[in-house]
Amino acid sequence: MDGLKEGTHSVQSIHTREHLAQRDAQDTLREFKERFSLPESVIYLDGNSLGALPRGAAERAAEVVNAEWGQGLIRSWNEAGWFDLPLKLGDKLGQLLGANPQETAITDTTSLNLFKALASALRTQKADSPHRRVIITERDNFPTDIYIAQGLTDLVNSLSQEIGVPYEVRLIDDEASLRAALDEDTAVLALSHVNYRTGSMWDMAEITAAAHDAGALVVWDLAHAAGAVPVDLNGANADYAVGCTYKYLNGGPGSPAFIWVNARHHDRFWQPLSGWWSHNAPFAMEESYTPAKDVRRFMCGTQPVTSLAMIEVGLDIALEADMAAVRATSLELTDLLIELVETHCAEFGFELVTPREHAQRGSHVSFRHKHGYEIMAALIARGVIGDYREPEVLRFGITPLYISRTDIWDAVQILREILHTNAWQREEYSLRNAVT
C-alpha cells in the first residue's frame, strides 16, 4: 500500500457506481430496505449506534399507548401480554444468538445486565474456587463494561469485613496478553465480541475454551454483534452474555437490553439486583427472597413497556433475514468501504483501524485521521451520518438491511469532496455526544 500516498488516483478502484448498482439489484436482502423508514438525503452509517426506524414500530407504540395503556389500563399486564414480553422477546432474540428457549430475557440496560452476570459469576467462583478474585477485561472495551466491573469489585472490597486479597479488575490489550493473564486467580473473563471502536471481533468459541481451560467463566458483551454477525452462544459453550437491542436490532432509542445465561447457571446463585420480577412468586408478596429457577432470576423491576414492545418489530424483521446473507453482504460492504477509501481518498491520510481479516471483523469500519472530528462533522452536515470516537476515529456502521453498495460509493465520494476542498476546515459542528 506504500504507493497510495504518491498522488491522487495513483491506485484506481476496481469498482464503478454502475457496477455497484447492478450488484445491489441482485442482492437477496435488497427488499429489506423498504421495511425501514429513513430520511431522504441521508446515508445512515450509524446503525451500530442507533438502528433505523422499522416500519410498524410507530404503529406498535401507538397501540401500546392508546389501546393497551389508555383503554386497557392495568388489565393490559395480563390481557395485552405485558408480563410476558421480556421472555417472549428474549426467545425471539435468542434465535439469533444460538440460545435455547427460556435462556434470554430482554430487560434493563447492558450495564446493569453485565453487573448481574459478573456478580453471579463471582458468587459461583467463590463457592467453587474461592481464591479466584480477578475479573479480566479489555483496556479498549466499551468503558461502561470496565466501570461496571470496577464498581462491583470496589463495592465488595470496600464493604468487606476484613482486609484480605481484594477483588480486582485486570485490563488486557490483545490476545497474547489475554492468554498470559488467564491464570489460577482469574474468576471471570468479560469481553466484547465486537469492539465498539475498532470493529475487531474475538473468536468466541476459541476464547471461551481458553478461559474455561484456565478455570474462568466468560461473559460476552454482544452490543455490537447481535444482529450483525453470526453468534452461537451455546455452540461456544459461553456462560453469560449481555447486549443491547437499539443498534443492529433496531429496537428504538434506549430500548431495553438483554441478558442470556447458560441454563447451567440459572439455579445456582443469587444475583444481587434481585427485585421482585426475579422472585420465584412475585405476586405472593413474601418477605423473604426466593429466586426464580430460570432466567427470570436475572430480571429486576418493571420494564418500560412502550420502549420494550417496539423491539418486537425490529426483531421480526431480523428473524426474516437470512443471517448468513447478512454476514456475507456485511463483509462485502465493509470490504468495499475500505477499498474505496484507500483508493479514492488515498492521499488524505486515513489509517484503517478495523482488521482486514474477515474472521476478525464485525460490521463496522473505523479509520483514524488526525482531523477525524472535523471531518465527521462535515460528513454529517452533508447527510453522511457516521460517528466519531476518541481518539481521532471516524466510525462507519454497515447495516446490510438498509445500506447498499451505492450508498457506500456515494458516501466515499462525499468524503473525498470534503477532503479535496478542505471543507472540514471551514465548518464547525457539534458532535458533542453520540451514544455508542
Task: Name the residues annotated as catalytic.
Answer: 142, 221, 246-247, 395
Q: How far is the CB of 32 from a copy of itself (least distance, A)?
A: 16
Q: How far is the CB of 84 from a copy of itself (least distance, A)?
A: 10
What's the N-to-C CA distance of the chain in angstroms?
A: 31
The piece of 106-114, 345-353, 357-365, 408-416 that touches a copy of itself (CB under 8 A) is 106-114
Q: How far is the CB of 354 from a copy of itself (least distance, A)?
A: 17
Q: How far is the CB of 40 from a copy of itself (least distance, A)?
A: 9
List of E strands, 139-185: 168-172
Residues sharing a CB contact under 8 Å with residue 30, sequence separation 6 or more, in sequence order: 24, 404
307 lies in the site for a copy of itself, by CB under 8 A: yes
42: which 3 cell numbers? 441521508
Q: How far is the CB of 14 from a copy of itself (least distance, A)?
A: 32
139 lies in the site for a copy of itself, by CB under 8 A: yes
268 lies in the site for a copy of itself, by CB under 8 A: no
Residue choice 192, 195, 200, 303 for contact with a copy of itself (CB under 8 A):
303
Taking a C-beta distance cutoff of 8 angstroms, is the pair 226, 249 a contact?
yes
3-state secondary structure at position 34: helix
CB-based burial, 402-430: b 16+ in 10 Å, e otherwise: bbbbbbbbbbbebbbebbeeebbeeeeee
CA distance 151 to 162: 19
Which residue, 37 or 422, has its beta carbon nearer to a copy of itself?
A: 37
Q: How far is the CB of 132 from a copy of itself (least distance, A)?
A: 11
C-alpha distances (whole Å) from 369 to each of 63, 216, 234, 372 are 46, 38, 39, 5
- Structure letter (DSSP) for residue 393: E
Q: Which 37-96 residues touch a copy of itself, going by CB under 8 A?
A: 37-39, 42, 44, 46, 49-50, 52-53, 57-58, 61-62, 64-66, 68-71, 73-78, 82-83
Taking a C-beta distance cutoff of 8 angstroms, is the pair 186, 214 a contact?
yes
205 lies in the site for a copy of itself, by CB under 8 A: no
Residue choice 289, 293, 320, 349 for contact with a copy of itself (CB under 8 A):
289
Q: Which 381-410 residues touch a copy of itself, going by CB under 8 A?
A: 385, 387, 389-390
Q: Which 107-126 residues touch a copy of itself, going by CB under 8 A?
A: 108-112, 115, 119, 122-123, 126
Strand order in the sheet with 186-192: 104-106, 258-261, 240-243, 217-221, 186-192, 134-138, 168-172
Q: Which 225-244 residues touch a copy of itself, going by CB under 8 A?
A: 244
Count of residues interacting with a copy of itself (CB under 8 A): 110
Which residue, 12 or 430, has its beta carbon nearer to a copy of itself?
A: 430
Which residue, 127 or 180, has its beta carbon nearer to a copy of itself?
A: 127
Residue choice 155, 210, 325, 423 for contact with a copy of itself (CB under 8 A):
155
167: which 3 cell numbers? 477483588
Q: How far is the CB of 155 from a copy of itself (least distance, A)?
A: 4
Which residue, 61 or 323, has its beta carbon nearer to a copy of itself?
A: 61
Q: Is 196 exposed, middle or buried (0-12, 13-18, 19+ CB in 10 A)?
A: buried
Q: Is 273 exposed, middle or buried (0-12, 13-18, 19+ CB in 10 A)?
A: middle
